[in-house]
Amino acid sequence: MPVRRMEVSVRPYAWMPRPLRWFARVVTVLLALALVLAGVLVYTVRKSFPQVDGSLRLPGLTGSVEIYRDKSGIPHIYADTPADLFMAQGFVHAQDRFYEMDFRRHTTAGRLSELYGSSTIENDKALRTMGWRRVAQEELPGLAQETQDLLGAYAKGVNTWLDANPNASDRGLEYSILKLQNGSYRPEKWTAVDSLAWLKAMAWDLRSNLEDEIDRALALTKLPKERVEQLYPGYPFDRHSPIVTAGAIQQGRFDQLAAPRQRASTALNQAARTLEAVPDLMGTRDGDGIGSNSWVISGEHTASGKPLLANDPHLAPQMPSIWYQVGLHCRKVSAECPYDVTGFSFSGMPGVVIGHNAKVAWGFTNLGPDVADLFLEQVDGETYLYKGQQVKLETRQEQIKVAGGAPVTIKVRSTRHGPLINDVIAGAQPSGEANAVALQWTALTPGRTADAVFALNKAGDWDEFKAAAALFDVPAQNLVYADTSGRIGYQAPGRIPVRANGDGTWPVPGWTGEYDWNTAPIPYDQLPSVEDPAEGFIVTANNAVIDPSRYRPLLTKDWSYGYRSQRIRDRVEEAVANGKVDAGTMAEIQQDTYNGFAETLVPALMRVDLAGPSVQARQLLEKWDGMQGLDSAAAAYFNAVWRQVLVRTFDDDLPAAARPSGGDRWYEVIRGLLDLPEDPFWDDVTTKNRKETRDDILRQAMASAYQELSGLLGDDIKAWRWGDLHQLELVNGSLGTSGIAPVEALFNRGPLALPGGKDAVNATGWNVQRDYSVNAVPSMRMIVDLSDLDKSRWINLTGASGHAFHDNYWDQAEAWARGDLLPMRSSAKAVKKAAVHTLKLNP
């Protein structure tokens, strides 16, 4: 009997119960959509990655340019002329970081609202009032013609890249996302003024004591002047050495061998709010949150017999990093093409800011002179009072374009002292004798810092270096120097005002004229300078430059208090005493986590009567060496106690804007109060019928710290780890703070657990008013070996690329967190040997 063939039709999901079939189909569709979207995202992300191999045509070049990149994506550029070299640098910066550059120029011009709408109006109002970009426009024609030409060449390179990438997806993931909100936005051509305006942002974030000036005045609204001055102790010259330990002004010049000669209101609240609206592109909101370390050791103390130079600027963490590593090389170094420099640049600016060329190396730390003053003004309508007369205000209109909204127009008014910064607060009603506040700041006068950058890059010896430093107007920096001939040096540059009266620590009346600045700043030849000091090394870490008993005029009274600098000096002296110093020794010092105030506060804590579980926690401090490593339970507890001491001692006495953030100024304040157990600051004014003393506050601080850490880290005290509290989130400066979690996840990275602390040498800052998260870091690290420049080492906070998901977006971050350094190659042989990508640019 023939077998009948049975046809069986198998339907998808036929085995499933009917209610689940629809669910499975939905899941399948969603998965398919997810795959498609993932594919689109991957395509969009990768489409903007730069071409780093092969060849490209770059119209405007006069000859070919070669770009070698190592595995970290760090480019070294080789050209035959300066114009080609810096045009190629502009192209490379745009390849890796154009969105960052575009964001920065909108910020410095007060035009963020063109990108992001009304949410950034207050930022733009503040920037337009100060007029950073207007000053940059005035600055350009005063620069050397060579500088103007090279700024133009750099802009040409950026614009050639922009022309080659006309679509949003070609330029970067950020533009694809921005297009969803602001589809009409198209980046403008890059200009030389865009580059110069960034120098104003650099100057603003390194502006020294302006916040201290406001904080003093605001504190005065709640405290008598003598108690406010108690919060600003003098620099401890007896314990912490200044940078320059000898010399004085003699016959109109600073001579390092010379012997010394003996010798608030409503408007202020508005001004404080205005200053808070100005974005900090490099620094932090904390007045003492910016710092840096830099030191140099002569060859007499090194294993190689040649100098070693170390630098690590402390700035706000950013994604991508503020810095961009690069090598700029003329194939044949000559008078016509004098550049052969490797170091750290800013995307958006030509040249190298910190680094070395074939003969000299240099590093920066913030000198921190008082270059900005607040003048209280009496304004009546469109005039202001000055020396008994009503003087007409200078005025201008500024229109702010707003994406998705109507333009906003503001009126900027200025006195002879500067713009009225309280004017930009909508609805504010100033009152009192002084009803307005003007800001006078050296960076609002055109300068020649751009000339200085190019001059530093090609300096060949100490004299050429000093001549370059003379052009560095703002921000005033401590410059340390070393060269291959064995010389080391220090120079303080900058435009630093001379006041007719006053010391710049308090806002002053502008109507009298008695506190006006002199026409001329401190002459450059009178600024402190040192060449080959007898001790064989120079240390700068934002500490006092020189003892004012041996030096006039006044630089500032608001230095960092020398805890980092003294620790570096002590470590250097110890290393020198134990033998010859090498680059490894320099790197170890950079990683030092010692808390310099522990030796003062811990004994005071040990003397307090204590009961309960916090007794066991305090035992962590008995044998603690003061080091703040990742695994240290003692460091976790000490910092928690420190936080509680400051909050409990001062928050009840001070307005919110003037409360302590935790820097080394507060070390000195508490040091003084520890000897005054009945001082009014110890008393908590919020408690009735009770007067707290020093020991009451220390006892409460230890108990509260125990409670806090038990809640955060568990009850096992020995398992507490400083690294579990002290962590860094790398946040993109624009879209990384959008408030939209999926968008933030695209651009932000971390967290990274970090050792160190606010005023340790490894300066990982945090704010006691918030939590233990890191808000200031060594933004890069560099050690230059003048015996063999290819043995130099460096590291960046994140990576070369600004493109999220690129291999070099944050590939240096974990090595940076561990304290590792990468080879800082500079010779053509070493660069080419390490290259994994080679791109040739042709005319």
Task: Let me know: does 569 contact 544? Beta carbons within 8 Å.
Answer: no
Confirm or deny that 213 is annotated as ligand binding. Answer: yes
Query: Residue 679 has what DSSP assignment?
Result: -
Record the tokens describing residue 687, joined without a space. Answer: 């408690």
Q: Helix (H, G, I), strand (E, B), or coil: what is residue 785?
A: strand
DSSP H helical segments within 48-144, as ranges? Answer: 82-108, 113-116, 121-130, 132-139
Residue 336 backbone class (left: φ over 0; alpha: ψ -120 to 50; beta: rest): alpha
- 77 burial (CB, 10 Å; 0-12 / 13-18 / 19+) is buried
Angle at 470 between CA 464 and CA 475, to 5 degrees: 125
Rounded Cα gap, residues 313 and 148, in angstroms? 28
Rounded Cα gap, residues 651 and 701, in angstroms? 13
CB atoms inside a 10 Å sphere around CB 536: 18
Record the tokens describing residue 732, joined without a space. Answer: 């993109």
- 267 burial (CB, 10 Å; 0-12 / 13-18 / 19+) is buried
Between the alpha carbon of residue 302 and those of residues 553, 599, 675, 700, the distances in Å are 36, 31, 42, 49
Rounded Cα gap, residues 825 and 840, in angstroms? 20
Confirm or deny that 370 is annotated as ligand binding. Answer: yes
Task: Let me know: does 841 contact 61? Beta carbons within 8 Å.
Answer: yes
Record the tokens describing residue 82, joined without a space. Answer: 């300066």
CB atoms inside a 10 Å sphere around CB 263: 8
Confirm or deny that 785 is annotated as ligand binding. Answer: no
Nearest to 727 by CA among 747, 697, 753, 748: 753
Q: Count CA atoms closer than 13 A to 17's CA, side-chain side.
A: 2
Task: Let me know: does 69 contact 75? Beta carbons within 8 Å.
Answer: yes
Q: Helix (H, G, I), strand (E, B), or coil: what is residue 727?
A: strand
Task: Let me know: does 782 contact 792? Beta carbons within 8 Å.
Answer: yes
What's the residue count for the chain? 843
The enclosing H or E element of 702 equals: helix 694-713
- 130 burial (CB, 10 Å; 0-12 / 13-18 / 19+) is buried
Task: Let me know: does 61 contact 843? Beta carbons within 8 Å.
Answer: yes
The enclosing H or E element of 439 equals: strand 436-441
Q: Please provide the DSSP assignment of 458-508 as one string.
A: H--SHHHHHHHHTT--SS-EEEEEEETTS-EEEE--S----BSS--SSS-E
Q: Helix (H, G, I), strand (E, B), or coil: what is residue 698?
A: helix
Which of the residues 72, 195, 208, 292 is marked catalytic? 292
Task: Let me know: does 369 contact 494? Beta carbons within 8 Å.
Answer: yes
Phi, then psi, of 294 in degrees rounded to 5: -155, 135
Angle at 501 between CA 500 and CA 507, to 5 degrees: 120
Task: Let me know: does 481 contact 488? Beta carbons within 8 Å.
Answer: yes
Bridging pattern class, strands 508-509 and 372-377: parallel
Nearest to 208 by CA among 503, 423, 593: 503
Any catalytic annotation for residue 485?
no
Record the tokens describing residue 495, joined without a space. Answer: 């435009």
Which residues fall in the annotated binding site for Ca(2+)? Answer: 213, 370, 373
Catalytically annotated residues: 292
